[in-house]
Amino acid sequence: MSDIFEALPGLEIKVGSIAKGLASLWEDAASAGKPTPDLEDSRATQINLVLHLGLNTTTEDAKIQFVAASQFAMRYPSRVVVLCPLHKDDAQVAMRAKVYGECTIGKSKHDKRCCEFVILSYPRSQRQYLEAEVSICISSDLPLYYWPHRFAANASLADYRYLLTKAKRILIDSATSPREALAYPWPRPEAVRDLAYARLLHVRQAIGQFLSRYSPVTLTTDLQSVSVEYGSNLSAEANALLSWAKERIIECGSLDDVNFIVNQRPNSPESFLSLRFNYKTLESFLWTADLLSGQCHFEADYKNTKTSLDAAAKLLKAQDSLSEAMFF
């Protein structure tokens, strides 16, 4: 991942001089007339975020995740630590560090948002020192959130016990994580959140609002199956949607003899997603969407009353998915 380390922005410094490097970074920004944290509030950050780039991460992918973290940090001022493991394990290769900072001004000069990045590149031979270095980089009095991205195996991720146990939330994207990552016995499974599920916020809200006009008894009586179909690009979101629908059906008091099915729909657009309730009677419910265009359609027939509705539903942006998964 030396290419990733080189590709990400920042000023390279000695690993032992990260605090001084960040201070110098803001001093240089101030001398150039750029926005900087106020002197009396130099630690204006609200949270710590550790973005851990797995070995399956490409350089372009790393840039995308870095931008998402940066956009998130401008809304929630953050100290972001980006970890870049190297593919080759060379005992002669030392850990490397970069620092990067950015501030923006909102509607007034008092509305200032600042973020700080520390980027660490390390070979596996330096793995034993990594978590100690992370603990130095973060603000110890602020909550820690851990975002591992594109790890090759669950067991590899489980090695980072300090981060997994200290983090308030662990952000897993089932679209890019190893298989069964969400079901893996993490040290604190209650802290794990799926970014694919978070991306569906508007979808879940739209479907929930539409179905709220019907009573739980109406929705569950003679319910035979709940099925989700998806285009090739939305496998993780389809499974997350089915999981959500199953939880809601259980809350309505019905689960016996109900089948829950998820399938890829042949010859459909990559961004296609649908949810269908199938009944033993003539009742029916169907929601379909193209999440690229943001258009969705509802069809329902309960008690011989048919309803058809067009609406909007889109996936959350990456930075919005992060905040949804972290705080809600």
Name the strand (E) or helix (H) holding 133.
helix 127-137
Q: For strands 272-279 and 284-290, give the pairing.
A: antiparallel
CATH class of the region 201-316: alpha beta
Residue 301: band (very low, low, confident or very high) from pLDDT cuts 50, 70, 90: very high
**Cβ atoms 206, 289 nearer than 8 A:** no
Domain ranges in the chain are 2-195, 201-316
Q: What is the pLDDT of residues 236-250, one digit of tens each?
A: 999 999 999 999 999
Record the pTM: 0.93
62 alpha-carbon distance from chain centroid: 14
The half-sphere exposure of 246 on its side-chain side, counting CA atoms within 13 A, is 15
> Tens of pLDDT along 62-108?
999 999 999 999 899 999 999 999 988 776 788 999 999 988 876 66
* Long-range CB contacts (within 8 A, 24+) of 187-192: 187/158, 187/161, 188/164, 191/167
The residue behind tokens 């090739």 is 232
Residue 215 clears pLDDT 60, i.e. is over it: yes
* Nearest alpha-carbon partner for 211 in 277, 289, 293, 278: 277
**DSSP for 165-203, written as a single string:** HH-SEEEE-TTTSPTTTTTS--SSGGGEEEHHHHHTHHH
Mean pLDDT (the chain, rounded)? 91
Is the Cβ–Cβ distance between 72 and 322 less than 8 Å?
Answer: yes
